[in-house]
Structure 1
Amino acid sequence: MDKKTVSDILNEISLLLGLKGGNPFKIRAYYNAARALETLDEDIEVLVRNNKLKEVKD
């Protein structure tokens, strides 16, 4: 899975949570995670493989 696909999924989760009236902090967290992935220069698969995904800053 590439970072565009993951980012799109996170955006969709954010949108669906918003439509459902979900927790605004959780909605923003998904949205921010999507933005962080979109601006990431590295390959997401490499980050996952090396267990460094948590090091990505938003």
Structure 2
Amino acid sequence: MTERNDRSEKQGRASRDDRLKSALRENLKRRKLQARERAAAEPSQDDDGSLDEGTAGKIDD
């Protein structure tokens, strides 16, 4: 009888692991999509909060 319980416990654990893997994968996909959308929608900013207009490395005379 313990053999049956062990098998069902292993199957239950495997099923749970599969559900968790699937949920984590979907969550990661959603978070990556959100990050891409935010990056595309917002203009980039420097550390001081000013907008980066492509002037990095240029020196004003």
> Quick check: TM above 0.5?
no
User: Which gives a bigger RCO, structure 1 or 2 (Cα 8 Å, sep 6+)?
Assistant: 1
Larger Rg: 2
TM range (shorter): 0.3 to 0.5
The structure that is helix-richer by fraction is 1
Instruction: Give me the TM-score of the superposition, normalised by structure 1.
Output: 0.35
